[in-house]
Amino acid sequence: MKRIETKSKCYSLFEKGIFGNKALTWNSYEEMINSSWKGLISIRSKKGILRSQTRFNILKEKVKEEMEKMKMENIKIEDITFNQSMPDNHLLIQGEIMLTERGLYLLYTTVKKPMNQGLAEQTLHAFGLNAKMILEKNLYTSSLADIYALLEIYPDSVIEFSSYSIPVGNIKGRNAVIWEVRNY
């Protein structure tokens, strides 16, 4: 059974596209600045930081300023990564999926904010057939197939995702991005 025990291993697999559909990402400030992306940026850590230290919806021209603030919080700049901010105004559901002794388990929120903020405001739970029906209602068939494939490969892991009412990510025909597959 495959397991992903560290945040750095998770990000390595995420960056390689192993989890499937993902947001546009950049591994350095220079890569992000030189990209043609014009929208908002999120800044995350590859090594694991407090969710409150993650930066969301930053104007491209303000990213350097946020990086300086992160340095003051003792976050190593070489440990951060950048991605396009997702269209939260189109959010359907986001959360975590896993297999349990009770079957499929879904922890989720419908709050149209970045996941940690949304879950802080609303945390919903669904099991079994109810979880499956919620997923089928909110994910394109292709996105749901991606998640089920990950559950087969990583049956002991938590899969973190976000789904939207519009296509998103780097794979055409998907409305969900996979953020993490983890056992930590």
Query: Could you tell me which residues come within 8 angstroms of residue 151 by beta carbon, excluding any fewer than 6 positions away?
Result: 97, 98, 99, 157, 159
pTM of the predicted model, to two decimals? 0.87
Q: What is the pLDDT of residue 49?
A: 64
Q: What is the pLDDT of residue 15?
A: 87
More confident position, 46 or 96? 96
Averaged pLDDT score across all residues of the chain: 94
184 pLDDT above the threshold of 80: yes
47 pLDDT above the threshold of 80: no
| pLDDT level of residue 50 (50, 70, 90 thresholds) | low
Q: What is the mean pLDDT of residues 118-133?
A: 97
Instruction: Please state whether 74 falls in left (phi above 0), alpha (psi between -120 and 50) or beta.
Output: left
Most confident of 11-25, 48-62, 97-111: 97-111
Question: What is the phi/psi pair of residue 107, to 5°?
Answer: -105, 125
Q: What is the mean pLDDT of residues 145-157?
A: 97
Q: What is the pLDDT of residue 34?
A: 95
- At 147, list the tokens: 């998640």
16 pLDDT above the threshold of 80: yes
Question: What is the phi/psi pair of residue 154, to 5°?
Answer: -125, 65
For residues 125 and 180, what is the distance between their CA atoms, to the nearest angstrom? 19
